[in-house]
Amino acid sequence: MSHVPAPTPPARPLVTERLVLRPVRSGDVPAVTRLWTDPEVRRHLGGPVIDSVIRIRQRRIVGAAGFHAVVRAEDGVVLGLVTVEAAGRGGETEVSYQFLPEHWGRGYAREAVGAAVARALEAAPSVVAVTQEANHRSRRLLEAVGLEHAESFVEWDAHQVLYRRSR
């Protein structure tokens, strides 16, 4: 008789002044799919995701632990996605994010990522985030929420920067 682990309970919603970060629901899939296919969103993330991978992701993301739809509290519009997961980098927790271009420049990403980092640091000794060196907006956001440049390296044929914040 094999032991099947119990499913991971969904993360409790994280509420900020203007946003709610909650598990992805089936109604969020079209907006999340746009994140994976929009050339502007994916410019520093290796380009748009191919169709076969999108179909797999669409089946797996609803209710998946670590994935948080970022919705505007006032109207429930999906603005983006924040992911919080074990990074494999010495047990650190990694935060990543993508937001739809029509919501850029309004502070939503900073608010959501800052809240996700703060929550992650309640349980983890440190949080990391990686972005391309050329992604200046993302680098400013990470610095604004208290992460500091920790190292630079080349991966996926691009210069990357790892940021870290410890408790």
Which CATH number fits the domain that encloses residue 120?
Answer: 3.40.630.30
Strands 126-132 and 148-155: unpaired
132 part of a folded domain: no
- Note the pLDDT tens digit of each residue in 128-167: 999 999 999 999 999 999 999 999 999 878 899 999 999 8
24, two tokens: 């992805």
Residues 6+ apart with CB under 8 A from 57: 36, 49
pLDDT-based confidence at residue 92 (cuts at 50, 70, 90): confident
- Note the pLDDT tens digit of each residue in 5-18: 333 444 678 999 99
149 part of a folded domain: no
125, two tokens: 């000794």
Query: Range of 110's domain?
Result: 14-124
Whole-number percent of the chain with pLDDT over 90: 81
